[in-house]
Structure 1
Amino acid sequence: MNAVPLSEPGQSTRPAPPHALATGWQGAPYPAVVLDHDGVLLVANDAAEALLPFGPPEWLTSARSDGGRVPGEIDHRSFEAHPVPHDDGAATWWLVEDTDTRLALDALRVERKRAALLGDASAALLASLNIDRCTEVAARLAAEHLADAALVIAPPVRRQCSTVVCLRGQEPVHHALRVDPAAVPGLSEALQGFPPVPSRWIDPASAPEWLRPEGFGEIGSMVVTPLPGLGVAAGALVLLRHAGQPAFSEEEEIFARLYAARAGAAMSAARMFAQQASITDTLMRELLPPRLSQVAGVEFAGRYRPAQDTERIGGDFYDVHPAADEESLAVLGDVCGKGLEAAVLTGKIRTTLRALLPGADNHDRVLNQLNDTLLDPVSTRFATLVLASARREGAGVRLRVSCAGHPAPLVVRADGQVEQVSSQGTLVGVMPKVRTTTAQITLGPGETCLLFTDGITEARGGPLGEEMFGEDRLRRALADCVGMPADAIVEHVQMLAAHWLGARDHDDMAVVAITAPRGRHLTAVGGHSRGRFTA
């Protein structure tokens, strides 16, 4: 502003010229000055003299009256000068203070920016349920928007803390450190979810070396705040600023806590998802059908396809249990229903059958003991089963097959004929007693007995989309599988059924093939490859 005072000491301001404002101008509550067309001060009212003891500032004397209102600062206060032009080129400038308004607008802009950041942060943090990815995003966003560097520290496990460190403009780095959180003021409390310690209480010089990122230099100020999780803390967020930078303000600490709440919730959700996925995989391994191969000289192969492609388990299942006397028990079943509920019952059946293996030489006894376990006056769930006990005998395989409400297996003979096993019985889990017949079968070298669920034969598809695959079509498919290994047969059947279905919905589908392997000494033993059915 000009260094010339508005009035000489001991003298009053010269009277307003004729073009000045009317009577009362001198006592107006708003400061007002009259400047000629060159910006020279002509007169000022009382309020202006108090505000501008050394004359108008340069931003006002250089302003044009025909350019509208002009913003500027006087003693760190914000004003707007509103011109009233005069005919001779002079102008009266009314000074209206808008410091509070500008501060409010600046605060509003900051809050909008922070709200946008929180929204973007939430979207970025929730974009992945991978805990490592989520932690990296939390550290990167904090370093970019809140501090010069950020550390995301997970709760310690056996005195080891998983830490992600990120400097502004760089990529996050993972560390696994054996540290004592109590060595950092407020960190131990933050990892337990307690309220944060104000940064002004934390001496950056007390921070241990492991907390200072490589190449960061001297720490000027530090914020330690918890990452709230779902019931327990997800970790702690540490924000660092270089020496020479302004310390964290109270408002910035509050915003850091808001950000930490978003990050902690996302990290907690990701960690919970990972834990649940691990538990699910552990349980799933017990429910998924096993991998089959040759057992005690008998070939086994199986394939399973759940009703929904997004699910890995359902109501169809199979198992093969080798026995001490070299007689293996193959089980294939179909539980009423689909999805998780059916899978739970499937697991119960498989577990019960495993416990009943010592008595597997008697299919009728096994099925009735299983039936006793499943009978429930409240539940309407039931199952169909087929049991096949296989033993290597000479060049072939001897089978005992019992069906309980299940479609009878099909046998592929060496000459291409396909025969149905003559066994039938009642459902398991419905009536007080299961009634079934057991068929005796002999498989010659290269011959196969195929166990299947009705998901295969009742698969609807074809040219019109509503025709069932049917047993006749399955028989013709098996006739083309003469001499094929067990694994190739089940793969062929599943591929045909899948092609028949196309992209349509379907029931669970499971198949198991039991094959007498070919061998150079097998054909000389047994005399024939054909077997007979006996009830």
Structure 2
Amino acid sequence: MVDADGVVEAVNDLAADTLPDEQPGAPLSTSWLAAAHVTRPGPVEGPVEGRVGERTFEAQPAPGPDGTTMWWLVDVTALRDAQRALRIEQRRTEFLGQTAQALTASLNVERSMETAAQLATTHLADAAVVVAPQSRNRLPAVFCVHGGEPVHALLAVDPEDLPGLAEAMQGYPPVPSRWIDPAAAPAWLLPEGMTEVGSIMVIPLPGHGVPAGALVLLGRAGRTAFTDDEVVAGLFAARCGAAMSAAWMYAQQASITETLMRDLLPPTLRRVGGVEFAGRYHAAREFDRVGGDFYDVHVVGDPGADQVESLTVLGDVCGKGLTAAVLTGKIRSTLHALLPMAHDHQQMLSLLNGALYDRDNTMFVTLVLVSAVRHGGGVRLRVTCAGHPAPLVVRAGGEVEAVGIDGHLIGVLPEVESTTAEVLLAPGETCLLYTDGITEARGGPLGDTMFDDERLHQALAHCAGMPADALAEHVHMRAAQWVGAGHHDDMALVAITAPPDRAGRIGKG
């Protein structure tokens, strides 16, 4: 109990044990309590808080009628410690949540390393170095100082130069974080602007079964070392390692996919042996690059011969997407191997059918083969179909004719039969090969009407005398416009055109 002048009037036994310096008749000596008492003349409201040794107390005032104040002391040390621990854990959780969100925003390896370095310098240390596994005897690294931008480097150094770095990057067996004597740090470790280093920690970055690298945290001289953050630093490193490992795996898979995809993509067509070729391809799904439709143009025999013959293949595999694309690759490879037999379409189709036929397999393919060679001023074609829509010939006068051939699907029956027709193209005339994705494309004003054969014939009737590329683009554009934003099957087409004569004339004359 303290009077209005700040003199202690009474101290109970518990208060005497807690505040042994407080004696009745003497001024209140506990500084934080005395300050609260002096600054609160009159009625006192609300508690104050202060330290007594290693303990934290809350003092609750109870004013008396004669100007005295009774201060009741409550030990809140455990409560405050728990609240402090909760705030620290909340900050850690928030930091790690932000870390996870930032690191998963990109599957780019370099960007993941940049993000890890920036987050580390923002929350954990004055500077950070993120080191990735060796690549061609170089260490990819990202340096960052607090408040600065990340800097990439490709280091021609030995990981053994920095104690603990080689072990951290081995991945197995796992090693703990390691404190390093700053005097043992090599010169290459210090980022620009970081001169005096007071503390260094090397932390492994665990990946998905393989090491993702290491994180090096650096603190300036005179700064309290980040021992309190060692636990969160380890959790942070685990998230960084997982993100970098996922980015590495994605990059590797993307590289493999790109390599495999390169052979599945439709080729760029050009003039072969004096014959014009042009193609267009549109996968059924916008995010797919390949599907079940395909085409190729091969040179048959000696490319330097006076008359160069070519073999055009256009096909449609049952199905869509990657599954169909895999079978497409197999078919294209097989046909390429059968090029020495290009003079005999029936034999090529029979051998391909033998390679694909399987009683338990429901996949099949339709094909059209066209051998082309210059003949006089025009082009002579040998055309064979295997269950595929017959090619269309656009004559010089605008007439559109279907080539009268048919044949069996490939891969369905033990034996296949097909017919071959010979077609002569005069200068400026074109033979169009196409898949049913063109004619069966649904759209139009009602949204569910097929483009069909009649509309294709009408579109081609306006293409007389067009170069191959212009004709292919015109047909593809008309079909795409018809579909609009609707769904469609894979679309593929190839135009084979006899160039105009030297005088630029088309037709026979």
Residue equivalent to 1:493:
475
Residue 197 of structure 1 deviates from its aligned partner by 4.8
Is it true that 1:102 corresponds to 2:80 in the alignment? yes
Q: Does structure 1 residue 417 correspond to structure 2 residue 399?
A: yes
Aligned twin of 2:263: 286
SS at match of 2:374: strand
Are 1:177 and 2:155 matched, yes or no?
A: yes
How far apart, CA to CA, are the structure 2 residues paired with 1:336 and 1:82?
83
Aligned to 1:237, the other structure's residue is in SS state strand
Task: Determine the C-alpha separation between the residues in 1 that align with 2:176 and 2:280.
Answer: 60
1:295 to 272, 276, 288: 272
Q: How far 1:199 sits from its partner (Å)?
A: 4.3
> Does structure 1 conserve the Cα–Cα contact (< 8 Å) formed by 2:56 and 2:76?
yes
Matched with 1:59 is 32
Tell me the residue number matched to 2:113. Answer: 135
SS at match of 1:295: coil
What residue in structure 2 maps to residue 258 of structure 1?
235
1:203 aligns with 2:176: no
TM score, norm. by length of structure 1: 0.89
**Whole-angstrom CA distance in 2 between matches of 1:496 and 1:367:** 32
2:226 paired residue among 248, 270, 275: 248
**Distance of 1:389 and 1:522 partners within structure 2:** 25
The alignment yields a C-alpha RMSD, in angstroms, of 1.6
2:500 to 515, 518, 535: 518
Task: Kindly provide the amino acid, as one letter, of the partner of residue 45 in structure 1.
Answer: N
CA distance in 1, matches of 2:168, 2:418: 66
Any conservation in 2 of the 1:394–1:522 contact (CA below 8 Å)?
A: no
Task: Give me the whole-angstrom Cα distance separating, in 1, the residues matched to 2:504 and 2:66.
Answer: 125
Does the CA contact (< 8 Å) of 2:292 and 2:328 recur in 1?
A: yes
Q: Distance in 2 between matches of 1:198 and 1:499?
A: 61
* Closer, same or farther: CA 522–51 of 1 in aligned 2, 3 Å: closer
Matched residue, 1:44: 11
Deviation digits for residues 224-277 of structure 1 (CA, Å, limit 9, x no counterpart): 11111111111101101001011221x421211100111111111111111111
CA shift, 1:198, in A, is 4.9
1:44 CA displacement: 1.9
1:134 to 1:198, Cα distance in 2 relative to 1, 3 A: closer
CA contact (8 A) 1:36 1:90 kept: yes
Tell me the residue number matched to 1:23: none
Q: Give CA-to-partner distance per residue, 1:421-464, whole Å, 9 cap, x none.
A: 11111111011111111000111111000000000011111111
In structure 1, distance between residues paired with 2:431 and 2:189? 67
Is 2:282–2:492's contact at 8 Å kept on the other side of the alignment?
yes
- Contact 1:443 1:529 (8 Å CA) reproduced: no
Distance in 2, matches of 1:214 and 1:236, equals 20
Aligned twin of 1:19? none
Number of residues of Structure 1 aligned to a counterpart in Structure 2: 492
Aligned pairs for 1:228-239 (under 5 A) are 228-239=206-217
Partner of 1:73: 51
**Is 2:97 aligned against 1:119?**
yes
Matches within 5 A, 1:500-515: 500-515=482-497
2:299 is matched with which residue: 311, 317, 322?
Answer: 322
- Aligned residue for 1:401, secondary structure, equals strand
* Match status 1:475 vs 2:461: no
Stretches of structure 1 lacking an aligned partner (at least 5 in a row) = 1-33, 531-535
Which has the larger displacement, 292-301 or 57-66? 57-66
**1:163-203 Cα shifts (integer Å, max 9, x gaps):** 00111111111000011111211111111125445544x21
CA 1:154–1:166 in 2, change beyond 3 Å: closer, same or farther? same
Contact 2:387 2:409 in 1 (8 A): yes
- On the 8 A contact 2:176/2:204 being kept in 1, the answer is no
Q: Is residue 529 from structure 1 mapped to residue 508 from structure 2 by the alignment?
A: yes
Structure 2 counterpart of 1:171, which letter?
A: E
Alpha-carbon separation, structure 1, partners of 2:418 and 2:76 = 95
Deviations along 1:194-222, whole A, 9 cap, x unmatched?
A: 5445544x211100000111111111111
Is the Cα contact below 8 Å between 1:396 and 1:522 reproduced in 2?
no
Aligned to 1:26: none
Taking a change above 3 Å as real, the CA distance of residues 376 and 103 of structure 1, as seen in their structure-2 partners, is: same
Distance 1:312 1:175, change over 3 A: same
Tell me, what secondary structure is at the counterpart of 1:340?
helix
Q: If you compute each CA radius of gyration, which structure gives the higher value, 1 or 2?
A: 1
Answer yes or no: is the 8 Å Cα contact 2:379–2:426 preserved in 1. yes
The answer to whether the 8 Å contact 1:328/1:390 transfers is: yes
Report the 3-state secondary structure (helix = DSSP H, G, I; strand = E; otherwise coil) of the residue aligned with 2:129. strand
8 Å CA contact 2:177, 2:204 repeated in 1: no
Give the distance between the partners of 2:460 and 2:258, measured in 1 at CA: 35
Deviates more, 1:158-167 or 1:191-200: 191-200
Calculate the TM-score normalised by the size of structure 2: 0.94
Structure 1 counterpart of 2:191: 213
Tell whether the 8 Å contact from 1:39 to 1:62 is kept in structure 2 after alignment.
Answer: no
Amino acid at match of 2:489: D
Quote the sequence identity (%).
60
Q: Distance in 1 between matches of 2:368 and 2:177?
A: 70
